[in-house]
Amino acid sequence: MTKIRVRIPATTANMGPGFDTLGMALRLYNEIEVEEIDGQTEIYNGGLKSEKDFKDNLIYESIVKTMDEQKYPYRGFKINVVRCDIPICRGLGSSSACIVGGIAAANAIMGNRMNLEDMIDLAVKIEGHPDNVVPAALGGMLVSLKAGGKVKYSRVTVPDELKFAAMIPSFQINTDFSRKVLPNTYLKEDCIFNISRSAMLISALYNSEFDKLRICFGDKVHQPYRKNLIKNSEAIFKRSRELGSIGEFISGSGSTLMAVLDKNTDEFVESMKGFLDELEDNWNVILLEPDLEGVKIDI
């Protein structure tokens, strides 16, 4: 049987005002291997067999939904998570990596029946919103939306000078729970606040107007409500500003916090590590760059 190896990047979504629409792939990866077998599906993590029910595995679920949609007959699979660098439930697209990886592996097994647009449409159908799965599939930063049952997307230029410091805590935040803390209605002025900043964020990135970025990452749709779920978020953002960041935002639904840097990146990371070590939870900080390739398949 053919063994498919897939590498999927982490993603950061929302990026301030771009709730469920803006996302960017990052150079932090999961890798999976998938092959068809005649028996029951087996799940492995780093070569060690998982005791959990394979039917609850999101990679397996995505493979099966892909093949069911294409009416491709299957029996079972051997799925091995070879590399798992994307932390779970931290706002860095771990579920999107499973979905995009599963769809890409299934499509390769089927002989590439689906084109890229079909794969993206299915990924969004499984995930529910496009801001993580589209950059995971394509790489780079994108603005994405659903229209008429199809996903539309456009690339956003990210200047090469920009780096992203991810402050990742030991505690998780469930995406479904984090959505429940959001209000059902918003004031008109709050909507205008976000629309203006989303538009200017894309323009400021394109024109390398770094002095505008902190204003552009402002948000009144999700961050004011979710920051209360992330202990010490205000203190970490304040320290980021003191250390020279040019913008900060909650990555996805949290719990990861992101600081945008244009210089002195090593000094920022070193100083931030010292600050985070003083907090009650275990925090780590890693410096990331945009991934421009998206999902990669090796047969």
Residue 178 annotated in ligand binding: no
Read off the pLDDT of residues 15-55 as tens digits, 9 standing for 90 and up.
Answer: 999 999 999 999 999 999 999 998 889 999 888 888 787 88
Residue 90 annotated in ligand binding: yes
Q: Crossing angle for the helix pair 94-109 and 58-69, nearest 10 degrees?
A: 40
Residue 97 annotated in ligand binding: yes
CATH of 163-288, one of 3.30.70.890, 3.40.50.800, 2.60.120.430, 3.40.50.150: 3.30.70.890
Residue 87 annotated in ligand binding: yes
Q: In this predicted structure, what is the pLDDT of residue 39?
A: 87
Give the Cβ contact number of residue 170 at 10 Å: 11
> Over 90: is that where the pLDDT of 224 sits?
yes
Residue 88 annotated in ligand binding: yes
Read off the pLDDT of residues 12-25 as tens digits, 9 standing for 90 and up.
Answer: 999 999 999 999 99
The class (CATH top level) of 3-156+291-298 is: alpha beta
> Over 90: is that where the pLDDT of 87 sits?
yes
Q: In this predicted structure, what is the pLDDT of residue 260?
A: 98
Residue 92 annotated in ligand binding: yes
Residue 108 annotated in ligand binding: no
Q: Please provide the average confidence, as pLDDT, over all residues in the chain.
A: 95
Residue 94 annotated in ligand binding: yes
Residue 104 annotated in ligand binding: no
Confidence of residue 189 (pLDDT cuts 50, 70, 90): very high
Read off the pLDDT of residues 111-156 as tens digits, 9 standing for 90 and up.
Answer: 999 999 999 999 999 999 999 999 999 999 999 999 988 999 999 9
Residues contacting residue 11 through CB under 8 Å, at least 6 positions apart: 23, 24, 25, 26, 92, 93, 96, 97, 131, 132, 135, 136, 252
d(CA 223, CA 132): 17
Confidence of residue 280 (pLDDT cuts 50, 70, 90): confident
Read off the pLDDT of residues 226-267 as tens digits, 9 standing for 90 and up.
Answer: 999 999 999 999 999 999 999 999 999 999 999 999 999 999
Q: Where are the domains of the chain?
A: 3-156+291-298, 163-288
Q: In this predicted structure, what is the pLDDT of residue 299?
A: 75
Does the pTM surpass 0.75? The reply is yes
d(CA 251, CA 257): 6
Instruction: Return the amino acid letter for 183.
Output: P
> Over 70: is that where the pLDDT of 1 sits?
no
